[in-house]
Structure 1
């Protein structure tokens, strides 16, 4: 297995390998923080503070993702990733100091959360879209699978470390570990090659013009518009179930923080299993389109069961199933979507994708928080899972979705640019192009 991994790393090249190791450590750090911060807020402030914490973080992510999205198409993405990780490490340092001094002050925590959201808004689209710059088009699918594997390993180890440290020593040590890991990820990110500024005459366009172009291009392509809208609705149901509702579910069962870490780790094991080959095999045998829909159906059913059942071991098992389903949704079709975008629009359009997810991540917890005023945690959890199941039908209505996923990688390369050339050549967007849906 190690020999096969070494061969895969050799095929994608040393520049991408540097990104890979930084990603793994970064996700490990983020998952430690993902365990420690909600637990701290829920313990000290209860469900109300936890809902505020989730909503403010999501709203900050939406705004910063929108406002900072042109950065990825203006500057070298390696530099953006490195600087963003340093900012996140600084934010984690301040949070660790607050916890060490036992200073729980929600407004200050929210302010630091906004700072972290801004850094993440710069880093995330750059980290995803840089893949197409570091490897050749025929290696992108393998590179993305390796990237998801590295992230899944970080997601797997992070909750175990965070949950164990949180249960044994408390919030402050867990946050100090969070800080140290982010600093390590920032140091590794310095090895990512500093590419030249992305192609295209980006300096000639104003910042607001670039923002407008990125959003309107996405809206004018029927396939992208439908894909984004359905993702948005699905995420409204999915995000609270794997976010704010999970620590509340664990606490409602009178379980320790170690079980919260176990659920997060199980989710990561499922993601890792999918990234290491299960997703590719399923997609190969039944096709990309059925694989994506099946992944969503599996997630919805598992989340509904997680809300209904009260046995902790079954809860952990359901999160493993969710992880496998999530790997199908994330890995199958992601390569196509990235390759279809012209090079000098990848940063902005990827940022719009992330922004819509963050909008859903703000609406989802807000709606869940309102529901918790009238219903129990189990009922709200079950509703979220059923919502994912019902929303899956929306993909059946996306124009040209199945046909697009059936294309091979050569055919899908710059597909948007070829089918909608006027959208990527004019400073303003006047009309749509010809595509699968028309």
Structure 2
């Protein structure tokens, strides 16, 4: 069989999964529109804030304005995802985000928008995202046929990687046309995503019947603490991303170490997403069916080693290759981790457990960039990236000993 035949077979497998299961088709298209809108927002809002203020501090506040409501609302959002119809929760969040984008488009086009008003809009978008994320992740197992969660997760991850690659470029092109254009696109994408959610049909719905209380609100934390496999999985991701955040240092590598300029920076930023996308294409056809716990640890170790290679590389081609391997290994880890957590969690707990997972992921991403910046300032850029990569390997080896239950997971069932 030729490489073209194999590629066609992979695409056919993915298309067959979508076409045979309309609920998954509606789900993935709806979530993809949301992801594209979020990526467009990251470019458009950042550029507009800097254009209006010229302040690096105000630019840094863009991320904080979305992170704080997520941090404040995540446990409530997880409880809501388990208590009410998850499709409607996601739909309401997307509609709210779409209406907020319409206001941003109108204010930008008419010229009355101010910086404080943009930050209020960001807080609203961040709050909606805090509710959308756990409800959306908890919804996935209910829209795929039994036994296909791993492939569905891989395919969803691949589509989201496309959004991460193409979304910022689309936002930049739209902003070049006019500052209000990206907001129009965001509004259209979120509103279309919300409408598609209404077409999702579930075989059954599960909702928490207990009255709201602090116990039910934080039940996800208790469930994670009492389940070694889930605790090990979520905490491994937290520390691995926290230490392995070398991508935050890419501008320094591009300018001062590899001396490639903006084009090299763009190439390096795209490399992890390209590696991840290629890996998801493979995983949509070939599932990991044996020793999945060990495979996850191996993927994290490869992630750390690839980070270390990138840290000491003096050649652009080697740096790009290392970043592509890093993205590929991270995708294997993500697919196994997400599938394991979802399958090990009862359906009526998935929203609250997903909220804990979402909190860990976002905290590690934010703090990982901070950690990389601090260690680079203290020890230098190359030592900081190298320490992060080797630290990720050490964490994976330590977690293998601390969580033997996770290490010995044989299959995703």
Matched residue, 2:275: 270
Q: Is the contact between residue 158 and residue 265 of structure 1 (CA under 8 Å) also seen in structure 2?
A: no
Query: Aligned to 2:407, which of 399, 402, 410?
Result: 402
Name the CA distance, whole Å, in 1 between partners of 2:44 and 2:318: 23
How many Å apart are 1:371 and its aligned residue? 4.5
How many Å apart are 1:53 and its aligned residue? 3.7
Tell me whether 1:67 sits opposite 2:76 in the alignment.
yes
Tell me whether 1:5 sits opposite 2:5 in the alignment.
no
Query: Aligned to 1:348, which of 341, 347, 352?
Result: 352
> Over residues 184-210 of structure 1, what are the superposed CA-to-partner deviations in whole Å (9 max), with x where a residue is unaligned?
3333333223776524xx343214231
Tell me whether 1:336 sits opposite 2:336 in the alignment.
no
SS of the counterpart of 1:322?
Answer: helix
How many Å apart are 1:37 and its aligned residue? 4.3
Name the CA distance, whole Å, in 1 between partners of 2:388 and 2:136: 29
Name the stretch that deviates more: 272-281 or 219-228.
Answer: 272-281
Name the CA distance, whole Å, in 1 between partners of 2:407 and 2:387: 28
Name the CA distance, whole Å, in 1 between partners of 2:223 and 2:184: 42
Tell me whether 1:23 sits opposite 2:31 in the alignment.
yes
> Over residues 27-81 of structure 1, what are the superposed CA-to-partner deviations in whole Å (9 max), with x where a residue is unaligned?
2222233344456667865664454444453343222212221011111111111
SS of the counterpart of 1:130?
Answer: helix
Name the stretch that deviates more: 378-387 or 269-278.
Answer: 378-387
How many Å apart are 1:169 and its aligned residue? 5.2
Tell me whether 1:32 sits opposite 2:40 in the alignment.
yes
How many Å apart are 1:326 and its aligned residue? 1.5
Name the CA distance, whole Å, in 1 between partners of 2:119 and 2:391: 29
Query: Aligned to 1:237, which of 243, 254, 267?
Result: 243
Tell me whether 1:392 sits opposite 2:396 in the alignment.
yes
Query: Aligned to 1:212, which of 210, 214, 218?
Result: 218
Name the CA distance, whole Å, in 1 between partners of 2:74 and 2:65: 14
Name the CA distance, whole Å, in 1 between partners of 2:393 and 2:64: 24
Tell me whether 1:228 sits opposite 2:237 in the alignment.
no
Matched residue, 1:321: 325
Structure 2 stretches lacking a partner, 5+ long: 1-7
Q: Is the contact between residue 91 and residue 116 of structure 1 (CA under 8 Å) also seen in structure 2?
A: yes
CA shift in 2, pair 1:232/1:5, >3 Å? closer
How many Å apart are 1:370 and its aligned residue? 4.2
Q: Is the contact between residue 41 and residue 186 of structure 2 (CA under 8 Å) also seen in structure 1?
A: yes
The aligned length equals 399
CA shift in 2, pair 1:381/1:83, >3 Å? farther
Name the CA distance, whole Å, in 2 between partners of 1:80 and 1:211: 17
Pairing 1:23-102 to 2, within 5 Å after superposition? 23-38=31-46, 48-96=57-105, 101=111
How many Å apart are 1:181 and its aligned residue? 2.9
How many Å apart are 1:400 and its aligned residue? 0.7
Pairing 1:130-169 to 2, within 5 Å after superposition? 130-162=139-171
CA shift in 2, pair 1:75/1:340, >3 Å? same
> Over residues 240-282 of structure 1, what are the superposed CA-to-partner deviations in whole Å (9 max), with x where a residue is unaligned?
544x5556766776844x7666545433322221112158758
Name the stretch that deviates more: 364-373 or 19-28.
Answer: 364-373
Matched residue, 1:361: 365
CA shift in 2, pair 1:19/1:247, >3 Å? farther
Q: Is the contact between residue 33 and residue 190 of structure 2 (CA under 8 Å) also seen in structure 1?
A: yes
CA shift in 2, pair 1:24/1:45, >3 Å? same
SS of the counterpart of 1:138?
Answer: coil
Name the CA distance, whole Å, in 2 between partners of 1:365 and 1:281: 33
Q: Is the contact between residue 279 and residue 328 of structure 1 (CA under 8 Å) also seen in structure 2?
A: no
SS of the counterpart of 2:328?
Answer: helix
CA shift in 2, pair 1:122/1:352, >3 Å? same
> Over residues 199-244 of structure 1, what are the superposed CA-to-partner deviations in whole Å (9 max), with x where a residue is unaligned?
4xx3432142311222112212233333333322223234x544x5
Name the CA distance, whole Å, in 2 between partners of 1:38 and 1:394: 39
TM-score if structure 2 supplies the norm length? Answer: 0.80
Name the CA distance, whole Å, in 2 between partners of 1:259 and 1:181: 31
SS of the counterpart of 2:125?
Answer: helix
What is the root-mean-square deviation in Å for CA atoms of aligned residues? Answer: 3.6
CA shift in 2, pair 1:213/1:114, >3 Å? same
Name the CA distance, whole Å, in 1 between partners of 2:139 and 2:220: 17
CA shift in 2, pair 1:99/1:268, >3 Å? farther
